Structure 1
Amino acid sequence: MPDAPTPSTPSPKNVVVLASGSGTLLQALLDAPDPKPFRVAAAGSDLASCGALDRAVAAGVPTFTCRVADHADRTAWNVALSAAVGAHAPDLVVLAGFMKLLAPAFLRAFDNKVINAHPSLLPAFPGMHAPADALGHGVKLTGCTVFLVDAGVDAGPIVAQRAVPVADDDDVTTLHERIKVVERSLLVDVVTALTAAPYSVHGRKVVLGWPTS
């Protein structure tokens, strides 16, 4: 009697990471233990060089650069960036410290496939200075959020959040560093969840996993 066929393992989903900084969020995805349901198919930046691109090269991940200055205007840049990302057939696009706003046309090209991480419990403290804003407001609890990107600023549907207590002696640096540690772990867990099984978006609600009906 012939042996039963071995179930095939699904191919990992393609994740394209866009970054402008040191690349610690990218590194967290690269270091996620195997087997995992995704692979970093490419890393891109709006800068000619940055730590994130260096990390990708060291890991053997293809890289690309799409600088605003190399295009006639932001519209042309968004078109070029969309083409550069699309060339890697992404199942998910991760903004990992990417310091440029994306146009609605880019987001439509990758509808509900673009995620970002933010160092606060959104909708509290959106924008560039979330840890400082949290300290200035005197909150006792902040954290990080991974959300689907829309045309607003840190305003898209929330995928997942984790809390980080604010210590009495925290300054912006100490608080932000603790948030970053949690943020890296949360991002890996979210990317794993979004690539392991289908997810759906209903208005502002993101439902992870296989449908129940």
Structure 2
Amino acid sequence: MKRLVVFASGNGSNYAALQAAIAAGELAAQIVCVVCDHVDAYVLTRAQADGVPVIVINYRDYPDKAAAERAIVTQLPPLDLVILAGYMRIIGDTLLAAYPKRIINLHPALLPSFPGRNGILDAYNYGVRITGVTVHYVDAGIDSGEIIAQQAVPIAPKQSLPALEAAIHAAEHQLLPQVVSDLIEEGVI
């Protein structure tokens, strides 16, 4: 059974999608910890309801990102894969060195287009007719790591931004568990 750690900053819907895939027997893994950088994020409520240990890290309590990441690394249980699922921080050298090629990110756009924290809004405002979701390995850049998988999401004429956001999230909830399952089946993790 592969051991997953999910980093999230908000609602935790992708955490919930991973848990649902595990419960349905579609993902041979367990989530052993959730790391969050917001004390009031709903993902913490979800994890605690599932009995999953949580680490809440306030980066302002540390002199720099490296110190905060060292604190995270020292608290993490043994793991096979770190999944950034709505974690709104750039991962630094400390975490990258601790888990080389074992950190993946879910991004709400078809990379390399629209990197950064506003992928959905940027694609919508640019006027593209197709956007999507990308799962990629994390490197030292911003959404620049090797792409593992992508799923396209069409943007209908006159589609509202909330409707596009809902479509992107639905695609995320399908793609992320599938990619993690594929990595396990292929022996990558």
Normalising by the residue count of structure 2, what TM-score does the alignment of the two structures yield?
0.93
* 175, 179, 182: which one aligns with 1:186: 175
- 2:56 is aligned to 65
Q: Deviations over 1:149-204 (max 9, x none)?
A: 1111111000100011110011222111101100111001011111233229xxxx
- What residue ranges of structure 1 are gaps of 5+ in the alignment? 1-11, 201-213
Q: How far apart in 2 are the matches of 1:193 and 1:96?
A: 17
- Residue 31 (structure 2) aligned to one of 34, 40, 46: 40
Secondary structure of the structure 2 residue equivalent to 1:150: coil
- Are 2:150 and 1:151 aligned? no
Percent sequence identity over matched residues?
37
Query: Given that residues 8 and 36 in structure 2 are in contact (C-alpha distance below 8 angstroms), is that contact kept between their aligned partners in structure 1?
Result: yes
1:165 counterpart = 2:154: yes
Give the structure 1 partner of residue 65 of structure 2: 74
Distance 1:47 1:132, change over 3 A: closer
For the 8 Å contact 1:91–1:195, the answer to whether it is kept is no
RCO comparison, higher one (Cα < 8 Å, 6+): 2
Comparing 131-140 with 152-161, greater Cα deviation is found at 131-140
Deviation string 1:135-162 (CA, Å, 9 cap, x unpaired) is: 2222111110000011111110001000
Letter matched to residue 37 of structure 1: A
8 Å contact 1:118–1:145 — kept in the other structure? yes
Counterpart in the other structure of 2:166 = 177
Letter of the structure 2 residue corresponding to residue 152 of structure 1: G
Superposed displacement of residue 48, structure 1: 2.1
Tell me the distance in 2 between the aligned counterparts of 1:100 and 1:77. 12
Q: Which structure has more helix as a fraction of its residues?
A: 2
Match of 1:139 among 128, 134, 138: 128
With normalisation by structure 1, the TM-score equals: 0.83
> Which residue of the partner structure matches residue 30 of structure 1?
19
Unpaired segments ≥5 residues, structure 2: none
How big is the shift at 1:105? 2.2
Runs of 4 or more, structure 1, over 3 Å off, are none
Please report how far the alpha carbon of residue 70 of structure 1 lies from its aligned counterpart in structure 2 after TM superposition.
Answer: 2.0
The higher radius of gyration belongs to: 1
Q: Which amino acid aligns with 1:16?
A: V
Greater Cα shift, 133-142 or 23-32: 133-142
Other structure's SS at 1:31 match: helix
Following superposition, the deviation at residue 35 of structure 1 comes to 5.7
Aligned length: 187
